[in-house]
Amino acid sequence: MNEIIITKENFDEEVRNFKGMPVLLDFWASWCGPCMRLSPIIEEIADEYDGKIKVGKVNVDEQPELAAAFKVESIPLVVVVKDGAVTAGAVGYRSKEDILEMINK
């Protein structure tokens, strides 16, 4: 498992100020059915693209400040951040191919 748990304490280091590769953020909650369906896809991307993509998981119940900062209204929400800027995002279950396409934009 190469996913990083993102919190408000490590957000700047792991996401905002991180350079060199895209960061894929998965905003989720344990009670969210579509989030649980998406989780194995996110884990697969983290494992297959280790060293090419950083993958972070944000539990919206435990990190309400980050959820608010990203204006999360529905989950799952997948966001791509490159050099500190959001470049893509999508709400709801997505296929692996759709997520990789967002990263490669």
CB 15 within 8 A of CB 56: yes
Q: What is the pLDDT of residues 33-57, one digit of tens each?
A: 999 999 999 999 999 999 999 999 9
Which CATH number belongs to the domain containing residue 14 in this structure?
Answer: 3.40.30.10
| pLDDT average, residue stretch 65-69 | 96
Tell me the whole-structure pTM to 2 decimals.
Answer: 0.94
CA 3 to chain centre: 9
Q: Label residue 2 by pLDDT band (50, 70, 90).
A: confident
Burial label for 68, CB within 10 Å (0-12, 13-18, 19+), is exposed
Query: What is the count of structural domains for the chain?
Result: 1
Give the helix/strand (H/E) hosting 10.
none
Catalytic residue positions? 32, 35
* pLDDT over 70 percentage in the chain: 99
Task: Check residue 32 and give its pLDDT.
Answer: 97
Q: 3-state SS of 29-44?
A: CCCCHHHHHHHHHHHH
The domain in which residue 62 lies consists of: 4-103
Looking at residues 89-98, what average pLDDT do you find? 96
